[in-house]
Amino acid sequence: MTSSLHLWLIPLIPFAGFLVNGLLGRKLPKALVSTIALVAAAVPFAQVVYTWFQLGGIPLPYVEHIGTWIQTGAFNAGIDFQLDHLTMVMLLVVTGVGFLIHVYSVGYMAHEEGYWRFFAYLNLFMFFMLVLVLAENFLLMFVGWEGVGLASYLLIGFYYLKNSAANAGKKAFVVNRIGDFGFLLAMFLMVFHFGTLSFSGVFSQVAQHPAWQGGFLSAIAIFLVLGATGKSAQIPLYVWLPDAMEGPTPVSALIHAATMVTAGVYMIARAHIIFDRSPLALTIVAIIGVATAFFAATIGVLQTDIKRVLAYSTISQLGYMFIACGVASYASGIFHLVTHAFFKALLFLAAGSVIHAIGGEQDMRVMGGLRRKLPVTFWTMTAAVFAISGWPPFAGFFSKDEILYQAFLSPNGGKALWAIGLITAFITAFYMFRLWYMTFFGENRGEDRQLEEHGAPVHARSDSTLVLEAEPDDHGHGEGIHESPWIMLIPLIILGILSVIGGWIGIPSAMGGHNAIAHFLDPLFGTPPAMVGALEGSNTLALTLAGVSFAVVILGWLCAHILYFAKPELPAKFAAKLHGLYTLVLNKYWVDEVYGAVFVAPLLAVSSYLLKGLVDTGIIGGATYGSAYLTSGIGAIAQRLQSGNIRSYAGWLALGAAAVLIAVYFGFGVHFH
């Protein structure tokens, strides 16, 4: 190799930050804690940027062998880091956005106790996330994979004194574990079939055997998908993400919007060689993606908690990325991943800024009219809203459009995907503008609060001590609603800019751009199979599709404008009319309840009644004590012989004597003469 990049430093520095803050943070002053944390987040970013400029001189993929992790006679796995184009993109996103959010948090969490804990966890997350993207083998990737899960568990449960938070954390971890279960099985299969888990090893073997189609590759791919659905909150395992909003808002921005939840997409892209061999798996991915995109979007329409709306939109956007992977157009998936990281992080941060401003309130019904009070937040948020709902030339437009376009082109059932994607786009535009209007327009409904209107977090307020730690509102009511400090606004602005221009890296040739990111990733993915037939002459098609989707977006905006700005009384009417549908969606299709009833409750019931009650206490315990009592019962009989009466003793003696005599005489054993 030419020059060592010391990739290992990239994850290690955040880990160092975690150790320092985690062990000593309790004692250190806040300033120092935040400095450490920021440095630990900044340095990797700097290094990544530096590496970016080195790229020219290095043959990719570039691999660094740090050491052996597991070695047995049959199998071994190393601690190897690898850098290639995909990793590069991910690194930039993770470290970049990560750093910004660190900065933001310094302001947002300023008044929290356990400040040090928060930053320690944040650094820990960075560490695992970076391991995840840098790993050169599935096992190491799995380290990051579970590690980010752990970090998110810790951060969601940051306000551990709130039951809801603790529950959400646990739920997130366990649901993710279900995904990891798939990942593990996939790895077992790989070990079984390839004898190794390193990317190079596995992929080269697959490449060498063109005969391998579907079969066990499908099995591996499908198990991987199960893992991905867990991490990326797709059907059927998306349920943890909305609850995860219990965590502090920066966490939601970093982990549950920008980075961690995209790990699933990254993993599928990473393993695309396997997926390419398994149409079945790809179809499954596509279906999951589109279903999730649509389904989550519909739920988003009726949510009133600002963060939950964003959560469902995240799920829905991730669905888009899955669609992209499903149609084997990984590049567009990654592209959307990047843009989404920008605007979704921004949305969350802005929402956080709003919440922060009005003192921990998350219920949109009690917001409104904040436009003037929070100008910066408003404008940045606006940029993000336009980006996500896909107005040109905002970032979201290009990436989402690319995905829809690829879907449309893809041979198997692409049209359907495209259609549903389009509808989703409409809904997305609708609920995002709904959020936008409800938050910033109209007059502030914050004064006339009746408790019954309030959502769950408001209930939490009833216990004042909780809220003091729960949300930073000790000054919220003090001097009324106010703009957040600059340290929070700067990241907003930067991300705002990015969500405007971020999409330009992928302007399709049809619109006179030259899809830079796609080309950048080409060496990894090659040209998406769908594109092959469609490259030339399809400019018109591309443009028409773009036009259609834009029209749909505008439609969505119009509806939102009418319902939530022009005629605010209408929604209630609709709700009354379509009552059934309304309640169904309002209760998120009762999925949580169904899961609870179908999986959790039976498990607990079986465990406690059948296993514990019947088997453990009944059979096993019974057998133990039963035999004990039996023996001592026989013992009682043996004692009965001891009547204490000489004559009866003599009787036994006589009988015994007779028995022995007869036994010996007629008895067993050898006969004589």
Partner 1 sequence: MHLILFFIFGGFCVAGALNLLFQRHPINSALSLIVVMTSLAVLYLLLGAEFLAAAQVIVYSGAIMVLFVFVIMLLNAGREERTHGSKAAYAVGIPGAAALLGALVYIFLSNGSTAKVSDYIVNTHELSRVLFRDLLLPFEVTSILILVAILGAVALARKEH
Partner 2 sequence: MLTDHILTLMIFVPAAGAFVVALLPRKVRIIRWWTLIVSIITFALTLHLPAHFEYGKSGFQFVENYSWISSPAIRYHLGTDGLSMWLAVLTGFLSIVGVLVSWRVIEARAKEFYFFFLLQQTAMLGIFLSLDIFLYYCFWELSLIPMAILIAMFGRERGPRTALKFFIYTFLPSALFLVAILWLYAKTGTFDYVTLHGYLQNNPGLFPAGAMFWVALAFLVAFAVKVPVFPLHGWLSDVISDAPTAMAMVVAGKLGLYSIIRFNLGLFPAQAREFAPVMIALAVIGLLYGACIALIQTDLKRLIAFGILSALSFCTLGIFCFSVSGLDGAVYQFINEGISGAALLALAGFLHERFGTLDMERFGGLAKKLPYMATLFVITTLALIGLPLFNGFVSEFLILSGSFAQHHGWVFAATIGVILSAGYMLWMIQRIFYGPESSMVTDRPAPDFSPREHILLWPMAVLMLVMGVLSPFWIRAIDQGVSALANQPVQTISYLEKR
Partner 3 sequence: MNTTPQVLRILPEVILTIVGVLIMLIEPLHARGKSRRSLGWIAVVGMVAALAASLFQYTLPAGTAFFGTVKTDAFSVFFHVLITGISLVALLVTLDATNAETEGMGEFYALIVFGTAGMLFMTCAVELLLVFVGLEISSISTYILAGFRKRSAKSPESAIKYFLLGSFATAFFLYGIALSFGATGTTHIDTIGKLLASGTTPLLAIAGLALIIIGLGFKVSAAPFQVWTPDVYEGAPSPVVALMSTGPKAAAFAVLLRILYGAFPSLHGHWVPILWWLAVLSMFIGNLGALRQRNIKRMLAYSSIAHAGYLLVAFTALSVDGIAAASFYAVAYAAMNVGIFAVVSHAGEFNDRLTLIEDYRGLAYRSPLLGGAMAFFLISLIGIPFTGGFFGKFYVFTAAIHSGFVWLAILGLINSGIAAFYYLRVVAALYTRPTENSPVRFVPRPTMPLLIALVLTIAATLILGIVPGRILDKAQAAAETYPSITINPPVPVDQPVTETARR
**Chain residues that interact with partner 2, rule: CB under 8 A:** 26, 68-75, 139, 142-143, 145-147, 150, 153, 157, 160-163, 165-167, 169-170, 173-174, 177-178, 180-181, 184-185, 187-189, 191-192, 463, 466, 603-604, 606-608, 611-612, 615-616, 620-621, 623-624, 628
Q: Which is nearer to partner 2, 75 or 652 (CB)?
A: 75
Spell out the residues 6+ positions from residue 667 whose beta carbon is closer than 8 angstroms to its own.
Answer: none
Dmax of the chain from CA atoms?
Answer: 125
| Least Cβ distance, residue 657 to partner 3 (angstroms) | 5
Q: Which is nearer to partner 3, 589 or 652 (CB)?
A: 652
CA distances, 150 to each of 129, 245, 311, 345, 491 (Å)? 11, 16, 19, 20, 26
Give dist(CA 203, CA 273) in Å, integer.
7
| Contact by Cβ (8 Å): 81, 8 | yes
CA distances, 449 to each of 90, 363, 367, 454, 653 (Å)? 44, 11, 10, 8, 97
Q: Which is nearer to partner 1, 456 or 655 (CB)?
A: 655
| Least Cβ distance, residue 192 to partner 2 (angstroms) | 5
CA distances, 336 to each of 264, 332, 409, 555 (Å)? 13, 6, 17, 22
Contact string (CB under 8 A) for partner 1, positions 629-668, x = contact: ------------x-x-x-xx-xxxxxxxxxx-xx--x---
Spell out the residues 6+ positions from residue 152 whose beta carbon is closer than 8 angstroms to its own.
Answer: 125, 169, 172, 173, 176, 244, 247, 251, 255, 256, 260
Q: Which is nearer to partner 3, 583 or 627 (CB)?
A: 627
| Least Cβ distance, residue 618 to partner 1 (angstroms) | 40
Q: Applying CB under 8 A, which residues contact partner 3?
A: 631-632, 634-639, 641-642, 644, 646, 649-650, 652-653, 655-657, 659-661, 663-665, 667-673
Give dist(CA 518, CA 401) in Å, integer.
14
Q: Is 374 helix (H, G, I), strand (E, B) or coil?
A: coil
Q: Which does 632 bind (CB under 5 to 8 A by kind): partner 3, partner 2, partner 1, none?
A: partner 3
| Least Cβ distance, residue 670 to partner 3 (angstroms) | 3
Q: Which does 463 bind (CB under 5 to 8 A by kind): partner 2, partner 3, partner 1, none?
A: partner 2
DSSP tag of 57:
G
| Contact by Cβ (8 Å): 128, 151 | yes
| Contact by Cβ (8 Å): 435, 368 | no
Q: Which is nearer to partner 2, 179 or 446 (CB)?
A: 179
Q: Which does 50 bind (CB under 5 to 8 A by kind): partner 1, partner 3, partner 2, none?
A: none
**Tokens 């695992």 belong to which residue?**
128
Q: Which is nearer to partner 3, 1 or 670 (CB)?
A: 670
| Least Cβ distance, residue 630 to partner 3 (angstroms) | 10
Q: Which does 167 bind (CB under 5 to 8 A by kind): partner 2, partner 1, partner 3, none?
A: partner 2
Q: Please, what is the angle between helix 115-134 and helix 30-54, to 10°?
A: 20
Give dist(CA 293, CA 314) in Å, integer.
9
| Contact by Cβ (8 Å): 214, 207 | no
66 class by beta-carbon count within 10 Å (0-12 exposed, 13-18 middle, 19+ buried):
middle
| Least Cβ distance, residue 624 to partner 1 (angstroms) | 35
| Least Cβ distance, residue 625 to partner 1 (angstroms) | 32
| Least Cβ distance, residue 668 to partner 1 (angstroms) | 16
Q: Which does 572 bind (CB under 5 to 8 A by kind): partner 2, partner 3, partner 1, none?
A: none
Q: Which does 92 bind (CB under 5 to 8 A by kind): partner 2, partner 1, partner 3, none?
A: none
Q: Which does 634 bind (CB under 5 to 8 A by kind): partner 2, partner 1, partner 3, none?
A: partner 3
Give dist(CA 648, CA 646) in Å, integer.
6
Q: Which is nearer to partner 1, 161 or 659 (CB)?
A: 659
H or E element that contains 230? helix 216-231
Q: Which does 148 bind (CB under 5 to 8 A by kind): partner 3, partner 1, partner 2, none?
A: none
Q: Which is nearer to partner 3, 544 or 631 (CB)?
A: 631
Give the residues lining the site for partner 1 (CB under 8 A). 641, 643, 645, 647-648, 650-659, 661-662, 665
